[in-house]
Structure 1
Amino acid sequence: MPAILLFWSRAERNKYSAPGSVTVMGKDYYKILGIQSGANEDEIKKAYRKMALKYHPDKNKDPNAEEKFKEIAEAYDVLSDPKKRAVYDQYGEEGLKTGGGSSGGSGNTFHYTFHGDPHATFASFFGGSNPFDIFFASSRSRMFNGFDQEDMDMDDDDDPFSAFGRFGFNGINGVHRRHQESLHTRRKVQDPPVIHELKVSLEEIYHGSTKRMKITRRRLNADGRTMRTEDKILNIVIKRGWKEGTKITFPKEGDATPDNIPADIVFILKDKPHSHFKRDGTNVIYTANISLKEALCGCTVNIPTIDGRVIPLPCNDIIKPGTVKRLRGEGLPFPKAPSQRGDLIVEFKIRFPDRIAPQTRQILKQHLPCS
């Protein structure tokens, strides 16, 4: 004779129970979560959040915590699902797990089996992560600007996330967001910067310029695992007056793999040698070649400028070795104030004759001072 399973609703079981007796027909999920049978969705979530954090094995070292944690997960799994909850409310745990509610000719048999992994339920509740990796791991007992783990402990009646609010976590979403950032930082380390020297002329520094550099790099495909090789053009904007050594950074434009954060691409400015000028900050230095006669007797020297002009420079005094003349405002722009410019500094190189005639030597002896 086949076995007949008879399922009574929770209300019917209570109705036919003897006064003062307790009828146990499987687990009382409401009691496990510490809520009333009429609790709404928000109350169920809040209760699960509180109880799961309280009994999570990473925090609660009681030997029975693991089993309690599993019961809490199972209770939440049932009560948070309207269909499961409806069957449970009518037929209890046994009916839920052995096909209660299948009568009535509908042909729809409902069988429930808890997946058995309370940590999966916990992780799913927190958006796919385990916040205890942050909050309660022994290697991270001091976090949040020096607060101990004990600073975040809570009483049974407290909302578990009220403590996190003191640290500006904004509830569940904030906790999950911080945790995801922590996981990202822990699992992926950014590659060191890829540094390139970028040679520029003084004219490019004077006027400002844009250079286009093509780089070849590996990038992740949409699946996050496979990679492709691609070229990319980087537009490097060089502003007026930028100094040698200035760094231009393109964040995370390097190679990408499943296990790394792409490196920054960094260009460092390097002055090209110039045919006429040397650079000294915002000043430029020009060396004028003059003869000994011009140095002694005076002359006018034509001085080229960085922007292509020529400035006549009268030299009426004797030009001695080491003499320097300064043309104000004819140098390079100041980086932070491009309308202002440094100076053009003129140094002199005096050409001495290889030989002089005896008569000229005598004249020089007569007229040049000895000291």
Structure 2
Amino acid sequence: MHMGIDYYNILKVNRNATDDDLKKAYRRLAMIWHPDKNPNTNKSDAESKFKQISEAYDVLSDPQKRQIYDLYGEEALKSGRRFNNNNHQNPNPNFRFNPRDAEDIYAELFGGSDAGFRNGESSSVKKAPAVENVLGCSLLDLYKGAKKKMKISRTVLDSFGKIRTVEEILTIEIKPGWKKGTKITFPEKGNQEPGVIAADLVFIIDEKPHDIFTREGNDLLVNQEISLLEALTGKTVELTTLDGRHLVVPVTEMVNPGYELTVANEGMPISKDPRKKGNLRIKFDVRYPSRLTAEQKSDLKRVLGGS
């Protein structure tokens, strides 16, 4: 085999693939890699992959280009040099390789179901209503950010207009600080049916309750119980943050029931600028002794009597 790009491998077809095999393979891959279908992945990756499959289809679906490619490989095809080794005659010495535009190939091959819609001929094509799914995230996911992989199964139309089911894995990138109700849309990843544009697939963020912290906007709230003695004489509160750091907060004021202590910048990240954070608010609950001995009462009277 000659060096250079392996077009058969790019389209995942064997070397004696028919015209029909090539169309099917191209359509399947173009559905996955067309830049419009990849708004959430790396755009330039999708674009280069899409160009590759278009080039592979362009060469293999053209009998003349394919013949030269099969005999001499991709570099020879593109350099257009003449081949006069003893075994082969150049099938066409005047041949020039002119690559076709990837979007033209796409429009031509999707001429059935949705190219009419693309070219604006028929505005009667309806788009199926969006399919919404709730995506439960832990408070830690929303604090640190996370990647979640979702396996979806959807129906698509093959090149003959037959409906079949395909499975696909979508990666949802959760950004630090996202709130409940945030929507992530994957365009046209719903089921495809004849004459209807596939629905958008929408994931809606939901926040699972946390054992210790409660979220309010960009703030985190935590309840802290302290004894009456600590309320009167001071205490150091020790907490573990959502991301596992050890936090020591000195309480210097006298604590009344319902007192709140604010620790700046220890709340949730703010999604527009995750370097900034909301506040951590510590709500105190004072635990009173259930009973006092006569001796304790007289001691307290002595100490607090004048206050």
* TM-score where L is the length of structure 2: 0.58
> 2:146 aligned to 169, 193, 209, which one?
209
Counterpart secondary structure, 1:266 = strand
Aligned residue in 2 for 1:256? 192
Task: Give the count of matched residue pairs.
Answer: 193
Give the CA deviation at 1:328: 1.3
The residue aligned with 1:347 is 283
Alignment of 1:268 with 2:207, yes or no, is no
Task: Give the superposition deviation at 1:262.
Answer: 1.3
Q: CA deviation at 1:254?
A: 0.6
Q: Which has the larger radius of gyration?
A: 1
The SS at the match of 1:222 is coil
1:177, CA displacement in angstroms? 7.7
Determine if contact 1:306/1:331 at 8 Å carries over to the other structure: no
| 1:221 is aligned to 2:142 | no
- Sequence identity (%): 39
Using a 3 Å threshold, how does the CA distance of structure 1 residues 355 and 274 change in structure 2: closer, same or farther? same
The answer as to 2:230 corresponding to 1:278 is no
Query: What amino acid does structure 1 have at the position aligned with 2:120?
Result: E
Q: What SS does the aligned partner of 1:203 have?
A: helix
Cα separation, partners in 2 of 1:260 and 1:178, compared to 1, 3 Å? closer
**Maintained 8 Å contact 1:198/1:267:** yes
Unaligned runs of 5+ residues in structure 2 are: 1-114
- Residue 283 and residue 182 in structure 1: after superposition, are their counterparts in 2 closer, same or farther (change >3 A)? farther
Distance change >3 Å, CA 358–CA 259, structure 1 → 2: farther
State TM-score, norm by structure 1.
0.48
Matches within 5 A, 1:61-100: none
Distance 1:178 1:196 in 2: 27
| Structure 2 counterpart of 1:314 | 250
AA matched with 1:181: G
Equivalent residue number for residue 181 of structure 1: 120
SS in 2 for 1:181: coil
User: Where do residues 17-28 of structure 1 align in structure 2 (5 Å cutoff)?
Assistant: none
Give, in whole Å, the separation in 2 of the partners of 1:261 and 1:352: 66
C-alpha offsets along residues 83-141 of structure 1, whole Å, 9 cap, x if unaligned?
xxxxxxxxxxxxxxxxxxxxxxxxxxxxxxxxxxxxxxxxxxxxxxxxxxxxxxxxxxx
Matches within 5 A, 1:1-371: 180-181=119-120, 183=122, 185-186=123-124, 188-224=125-161, 226-368=162-304
Q: Give, in whole Å, the separation in 1 of the partners of 2:139 and 2:171.
A: 19
Amino acid at match of 2:138: S
Distance 1:313-1:229 versus aligned 2 partners, 3 A rule: same
Q: CA deviation at 1:369?
A: 6.4
Q: In angstroms, what is the RMSD of aligned CA positions? A: 2.4
